[in-house]
Amino acid sequence: MWITLLVFLALLGGLLLVFRLSKGSSASDQNTPSEAPESNNTQVKPEPIPEVPVPIEPLPLSPTQLPESLRDFKLAEFSDLDETKKQSLQLALNRIGLPSPTAQQLLLVDFHGADAHEKLVKLVAHEPQLTAKIIGRLNSAFYGLTTPISDIEHAITYLGMFTVRSLALQFAMEQSLSRKSDALIVQAREVFHVSAIAAELCLHLSTHLDFAEPSALTTQTILSSLGNLAMLQLLPPKSAVSNRSLNIVERTKVEQGAFGIHSGIASQLLMQRWNLPPALIESVGDIQRLPFTPAVTHPSLAQSHQALCYLCIWMAEGIVQKQIRRQSQINLRDKTCPELFHLQPFLDVLPLNPLPELILSPVVERLLLRLIVS
């Protein structure tokens, strides 16, 4: 009996020892660094890894990588001119007419509210000449409508605010700017035709690419034509006519050789004289610098928007100069083209990565055909 009692006590002691060891191990586990202590019921979240900004640097290029027409050419800025040349240029630009009150309101009034439709109708309707030009353009082959447009309200309902405002702005600017000779009237009309095609392309392509502000981009595209109109005023008539037949790069080199500045600077100076918003002035200038500026490794959304505006202008120039007669002739990825060389990095990343294929797709085929035959 004593032996049985001793065995029972030994077994009981062993069980107590095992229980204490297991309890101590459990308490130790609860205080390990991977879990919160018993007294704290909230889970400790790891500290977020701070985002390191990606440096935005121009892509390194050797001179031999550049197309020949871009080598040894540096785009000038207004600040590079001496004071005498600055004053002379300002006086020459002052001879160009100021925009009409209607053009100024089309640029500055906000047409995004609930009353935007009414604002635009009131603004345009009191100028019969402007209304007639808009209705005439809408009923031309440029738009190829099957239903004739009868008035501005009908136009807004049928084609939308952006299209009608864009047209009104183009014609209001055309009425504001004078010409020096009958020969330059033809060239000025060509500039406006390029502007109209570029704005139409920009409106449709930015919509397909889901850009937030198609109207703002079309405005920047239209205003980019101001410098080309100014150069028609500044250059001698024969030079002004011949210069229009050149591509964007060669034309810029001629302008800078003659005046020390290019059409992009002229656009900005005119916009400053017209008291337009500084951000808009800067953006228009940046658009016209793109073919001469090495692209950054990670373009911002604003820079991509500017690149779309420029590419639409480039395509419009090709259409008006009859270098683009078919959709298949548009190759935005042509690295041998000086006007497209610095735009290639924009097309390698979003949001412009789908653009070269979009241009060649059936989605925009009808639009391009309409613009080409216009």
Q: Please report, for the domain that includes residue 257, its CATH number.
A: 1.10.3210
Q: Which of 161, 176, 191 is the last residue of a domain?
A: 176
Q: Which of 125, 159, 176 is the last residue of a domain?
A: 176
Overall average pLDDT of the 23-44 stretch: 43
Shared-domain flag, residues 163 and 218: no
- pLDDT value at 34 more than 80: no
- pLDDT value at 283 more than 90: yes
User: In this predicted model, what pLDDT tens digit does every residue of 211-251 receive, in sequence order?
Assistant: 988 989 999 999 999 999 889 888 888 888 899 999 999 99
**CA quadruple 279, 285, 291, 293: dihedral sign:** negative
Overall average pLDDT of the 277-283 stretch: 95
- Averaged pLDDT score across all residues of the chain: 83
pLDDT for the residue 357: 97
Please state which of the ranges 174-178, 185-189, 227-231 shows the lowest mean pLDDT: 174-178
pLDDT for the residue 185: 82
**Residue 257 class from Cβ within 10 Å (0-12 exposed, 13-18 middle, 19+ buried)?**
exposed
Shared-domain flag, residues 92 and 164: no
The total number of structural domains in the chain stands at: 2
- Examine residue 44 and state whether it is found in any structural domain, yes or no: no
Shared-domain flag, residues 106 and 194: no
- Examine residue 65 and state whether it is found in any structural domain, yes or no: no
DSSP per residue over 271-337, as a string?
HHHTT--HHHHHHHHHHHHGGGSPPBSS--HHHHHHHHHHHHHHHHHHHHTTS--SGGG--TT-TT-
- Collapsed DSSP state (helix, strand, coil) of residue 58: strand
% of the chain exceeding 90 in pLDDT: 52
As a whole number of angstroms, the distance between CA 312 and CA 166 comes to: 15
- pLDDT value at 8 more than 60: no
Q: Answer whether 174's CB lies under 8 Å from 192's CB.
A: yes
Q: Predicted confidence band at 183 (pLDDT cuts at 50, 70, 90)?
A: low
pLDDT for the residue 21: 45
Shared-domain flag, residues 93 and 127: no
Q: Which of 176, 200, 221 is the last residue of a domain?
A: 176
User: In this predicted model, what pLDDT tens digit does every residue of 53-80 receive, in sequence order?
Assistant: 444 455 556 555 899 999 989 999 999 9
Shared-domain flag, residues 250 and 310: yes
- Collapsed DSSP state (helix, strand, coil) of residue 171: helix
Query: Is the pLDDT higher at 336 or at 23?
Result: 336
- Examine residue 5 and state whether it is found in any structural domain, yes or no: no
- Examine residue 339 and state whether it is found in any structural domain, yes or no: yes
User: In this predicted model, what pLDDT tens digit does every residue of 330-359 receive, in sequence order?
Assistant: 999 999 999 999 999 999 999 999 999 999
Shared-domain flag, residues 258 and 353: yes
Shared-domain flag, residues 278 and 161: no
Query: Is the pLDDT higher at 108 or at 272?
Result: 272
As a whole number of angstroms, the distance between CA 129 and CA 131 comes to: 5
For residue 296, what are the β-bridge partners?
Answer: 58
Q: Predicted confidence band at 107 (pLDDT cuts at 50, 70, 90)?
A: confident
Shared-domain flag, residues 83 and 214: yes
- The letter for the amino acid at 1 is M
Nearest 5°: the CA angle 208, 209, 210 is 90
- Examine residue 305 and state whether it is found in any structural domain, yes or no: yes
- Examine residue 19 and state whether it is found in any structural domain, yes or no: no
Shared-domain flag, residues 103 and 92: no
* Neighbour-count burial for 240-255, b at 16+ CB within 10 Å, e otherwise: bbebbeebbbebbbbb
Shared-domain flag, residues 109 and 210: no
DSSP per residue over 65-103, as a string?
GS-GGGTT-----GGGS-HHHHHHHHHHHHTSPPPPHHH
pTM of the model: 0.80
Shared-domain flag, residues 219 and 309: yes
Q: Which domain holds residue 106?
A: 98-176
Q: What DSSP state is assigned to residue 359?
A: H
pLDDT for the residue 110: 75
pLDDT for the residue 58: 56
- Collapsed DSSP state (helix, strand, coil) of residue 38: coil
Shared-domain flag, residues 234 and 280: yes
